[in-house]
Structure formats: C-alpha cells, structure tokens
Amino acid sequence: MSRPKWVNWAIAAGAGALALTLLLPTSNRPVPAPSAMPDSPHEEHASKQRLKVQDVKSTDMLTRADAKQHLRIMLEKTSKMNDVQISQYVKELQQTHDHIRSIDVINTKESRSRHFDKTAKGSKLEQQKLEHSLALAKKAVNKRQSFESSSFPLGKEKFFVMGQPSKDGERAVIALFSQNVLNAVEQHQRKNLRMIPYPREGKFKIESVHPDTLKEITVKTGHDNANASHFYENEIVIRFRQDPGERDMRIIKSDLRTQSARKLGYTYVFRSEHMNYEQLHAYFERKWNPLYMEPHYLYLTNETVPEQKDVTVPNDILFSDYQWNLPAIETNRGWNITKGNKDVIVAVVDTGVDLTHPDLKGKLLDGYNVVDPASKPLDDVGHGTHVAGIIGAVVNNNEGVAGMSWYNKVLPVKVLDNSGSGTTYAVAEGIIWAADHGAKVINMSLGNYADAQFLHDAIKYAFDRDIVLIAATGNDNTERPGYPAAYPEVFAVSATDPDMNKASYSNYGDYVDVTAPGSSIASTYPKNQYVALSGTSMASPHVAALAGLIRSLNPDLTNTEVMDLMRQSVIDLGDPGHDKYYGYGQIDVFKALEAASGNSAPLQFWPQHVRQQMDNAMKKYIK
C-alpha cells in the first residue's frame, strides 16, 4: 500500500530539518558573557595599563628562564673545550645574543677564569652594584649553588646577573644579561594596545578620519583610535573603468604635477605634491569617472588545562611554565593526529621576521620585503617575529618556546615598516605576492577601520586561489568592524584571556568567527630573545596555524570547508551558538583535527555528505 504524497513530503522535510540541525554548532562549556557596555576611556586605559605591566613582568620571567638555559648549555659545551675554543664560542654567542653582555667561564678547581666583557658603563654607584652582584654570584657558584640577582640599572638599561655551577662543581659560568627587551615590550604594547595616538599625525603626512564619514578628526588619546582611520593626505587609490593609455597617464601626471603612479593588479595609486585627498578626489571624479576612488589607508599591527595521558609535552624550556595558550586550545592532543606538513605554507604578512632566530631555524622560507624589495624581510619591530613563533617556533629542540606546528613552513612577507605601519598598497601587494608564491594560509595581524576596495580586491584575489585568510579584529574594545578582518572572505579572530573570557582590549562584533588566546602570549622576538605580548595580533596566528594543520592533514579541503570546520570545532563560549563576543567560540585544535581526519567527523562538516544523506532518505521513503 503506497503512502499519501503529503506523508512522503513530511518525511523528506523531517530529513531536511535533521540535516539542518546537524549544521548548527554545539555548546560545550558555557562561560558568562562579558558586559555589553563598553568601558569608559579611563577604564579602558587602566585595563590596558595593567595588561602592559603583566606583559613586561611575564617577559622578565621569560628572559630569566631563557638565561638559565643558556648557562646550562654553556657549561655543557665548554666542558671539553680549550681556551682558544672557549674564546671563539663565547665570541660567536655574544654576536648572536646581544643581550649577553659579559661572561665569566670559571674553573673552580684551578681557581682561574676567562672573562668576556662588552657591557656599557654606568655611574659609580651603579658600577658598585654590578661588582657586588658579580661577587655574590662568584661566592655562590664556589659553594656549588646557583645565583640570580634582582634587576638593577646600568646606564640607560636594566641588567641582572646569573651564575650556574656544573654538576661536579669544578666549573661555573657567571653572566650579565641586559633587559633592554623590557623597554621594547613596554613601548611595543603602548602602540599595539592603542594606548597612545598611533601613528602620530605629521610623521607620515597622514590624516585621521572617521571611517564612516571620512570627516577629519583629531586623535588625542588611545581611546580615540576606535573611531579613526589613517590615510596619506596627498595620495588617492583609483580603479578605472578602463585602464588609461600612455597619453591619458601623461595628462594625469601633468595635472597632478607628479611622476608618481603605482599600479597593482587593476588599481593605481597616485601622489600629488600640491593636491590633498579631497582635491584629488574631485579631480578624478570630474575628469575620469573611475569605478571607485578611496584614500590610501595606513594599516597598523593588531597584537591551565589538566594534563592527559595522550598529550604530547615538548621539551622546550618555556613551554610548561609560560605557554598556557597551547594546552588551553588542546594543541598537545592535536599533535597526536598531525604535527603539520612542510608543503603547506603559512604566510605571515607583517613587519617581517628575525631570519636568524635559533627557534625559527629551518622553518622560514625566503620571503619578500614589500617596503624595500632589495632587502630581505627582516623584522625591525618585533611584531612579525612574535607572530611567526606562535605559528612555527621549532618544537622539541630544548630551547625557548614551542610553535603550534612542528613542520609547516612560514613565509615572511614584510608589509609594515619600522614604525609598525604600512600602506594599503603595501599590504595588498604582500597578500598578492604570498598568494602567487605558494601560501595556503595567510595571517594578517593588522588592520584599519576603513573599508578599502583596493585591499578587498587583493583579498578576493587570494581567496579565489583557495587560500585561507585569517585576520585579527583589533585592540580597541569596540564593535566597529575592522578590516581586513570584517571582509566576508576573511576569517576574523578576537582574543580570550587565560580564564576563557573575552580579553578586555579585544574588538568584537557580528563579523567575528572565533576567538583564540591573546593575553601574555610567550613567543620569539628579534635578537634571539623571547617576550610575552598581548593583543588580537597574538590570537590570529593560533588560528592560522590551526588552518595550516588542517590543510596538512586533509589537503583536499577547500578554503571555505576549512573555515566552516574551524567555526564548528570550537569550545562554545558566551551565548549558545554564534555571538558577537566570541563568534562561534574558542578554537579547539584536537576537535578540529579529529573532524578533518574523518575518524569521527560529524556530518555537519561535510555538506556534500549531508546532501547525500538527504537524497538517500528521499529515495527510501518516496517511491
């Protein structure tokens, strides 16, 4: 007996509803949502000030842990060296580690030592404090005890003394370490967390405007950054309906009194020495009727779980004590599924990378310097090196930190200059270059509040080439969409703190896809050092690394499938499902890789399988 048609359609509808239900993310661990009320400027500044102090303190602890490891390695390596070999070894060490200012290699059995000094001089009182600390260190190592001084000033820098005896007590090493990196972190975070007006008007011939109206505003405080975008006052970005010929270009250059015209893809950037942006806009609108016109924007850097039996714990010396972020997102468990693949390249479009950092050795490809094409993409800020280390610092090398990927290669693309800022043109060129040179994932820990079609064209170019694009949302605790994070082709990442709450500085909004750890994240830093930094800039590379691991495990997934998988393999925080503070939730590396492997992949990650199940249900019940 056949069923009535309406019954068949009801069953089919039910199957469809079931499939749609499978497509919804699930809630795993509810956490109270933060207040919907934004902080006052005073509260926001105070919160960021506390976080900056925390980052400096964390960096202090990192430098001391790293110093202790250096002394252990020195003792081991010099144990079988003669004086000439020791001299050469220490000389090379100090050349690559500028913060190691003096070293005493002591043979306690023979009561002799070798001294290597390149320290700066301080006042008489400061020198006395230094000599006192060195004397205490020598007394301690002679008793087979380690020694570590408190910080003290010497000239314009802070230092500490550390001493370490060998296990048999016959040898020891005493060293003086500079802590100049603490000043660097303090200054970096004042910019990265937008605690100061940044960049300052006048230095780059820029204007600050409201992103929606383009009306000129003055940025006086860090809080004002949330409503400001910056652009070059005498430049304009143009996309013509039809490319101008040689005669047209001569006319334009003559009218603008300039020889400066740059072209990237379909888009041109013109500079004039006598016209500001408004005048340039009026000129091109009146005479050339372009497809679009916009300012040439300036982009800026956007910067514990119980152990389980199946968790891989690397021997990197800073991992267990300082890298709370990796266990929090189940990275260790994820390594049992995949540790990455050298053929899957993750590009870091940023300030460049320290190409000689020992904890990045073998992980970096030859990148590109958009700012100065004749030079290597060296990092003169520190931001890009920190981002690169989160993704790919060498794991299990008994040094420094562990990156999220053991094997994925990192492609450094320098688009931001030594001030930590760069133009729309530079960022767009960097994205296109990375897309053309093998990147499967691109991380962009940078942003602006202006929606630039020029940049969007570059984003689309990379997206159309099946690249996963990841970007930080920004550090102004605002709901205003930041770009490139808010473009639909880009996967937007906000930051959480160790308590899995939205980080106080993190931007938020309906465009946010997921969150990741972003507060006091330990990672690599130029001149072979390690620091702790906070910001959505630090959250974004966690997700870029995850995308690289997923593509290593299952290279057949498209960029949209990778993004869908990451959205749904989360620890659901805040309101169930998607919300503006956490997106779909905090990333879960193990869950995402388990889904990508297909071992226990739920149907919602594979729309084609859902569709097939629906078809099978229809065939079964409709005859």
Which residue among the candidates 537, 540, 552, 569 is catalytic per the annotation?
Answer: 537
CA quadruple 445, 448, 450, 454: dihedral sign: negative
The answer to whether the beta carbons of residues 345 and 439 sit under 8 Å apart is yes
Distance CA 265, CA 425 (A): 11
Q: In terms of C-beta density within 10 A (0-12 exposed, 13-18 middle, 19 or more buried), how is residue 342 classed?
A: middle
Here the tokens at position 392 are: 């790919």
Distance CA 316, CA 334 (A): 17
The answer to whether the beta carbons of residues 177 and 101 sit under 8 Å apart is yes
Cα angle at 165 between 320 and 124, to 5 degrees?
Answer: 100
SS3 annotation, 399-417: CCCCCCCCCCEEEEEECCC
Here the tokens at position 258 are: 């300039």
Angle between helices 5-22 and 607-621 (to 10 degrees): 160
User: Is-catalytic flag, 537?
Assistant: yes
Provide DSSP, 89-136: HHHHHHHH-TTEEEEEEEETTTTEEEEEE-PPP--HHHHHHHHHHHHH
How far is the CA of 514 from the CAs of 56, 339, 360, 557, in angstroms? 27, 22, 27, 19
What residues have CB less than 8 Å from 601, skipping those under 6 apart? 594, 595
Which residue among the candidates 99, 383, 456, 542 is catalytic per the annotation?
Answer: 383
Beta-bridge mates of residue 104: 115, 174
Here the tokens at position 588 are: 């879960």
User: Tell me, what amino acid is at 449?
Assistant: Y
3-state helix, strand, coil in the chain (%, to 5): 40, 20, 40
Strands across the sheet with 368-369, in order? 368-369, 409-414, 345-350, 439-444, 468-472, 490-496, 514-517, 586-587, 570-571
What residues have CB less than 8 Å from 533, skipping those under 6 apart? 55, 185, 188, 189, 192, 303, 386, 520, 521, 523
User: Is-catalytic flag, 230?
Assistant: no
Tally of CB atoms within 10 A around 223: 23
Which residue among the candidates 60, 66, 350, 513 is catalytic per the annotation?
Answer: 350
What residues have CB less than 8 Å from 214, skipping those under 6 apart? 295
How far is the CA of 100 from the CAs of 183, 413, 430, in angstroms? 16, 29, 35
Q: Which residues are catalytic?
A: 350, 383, 537
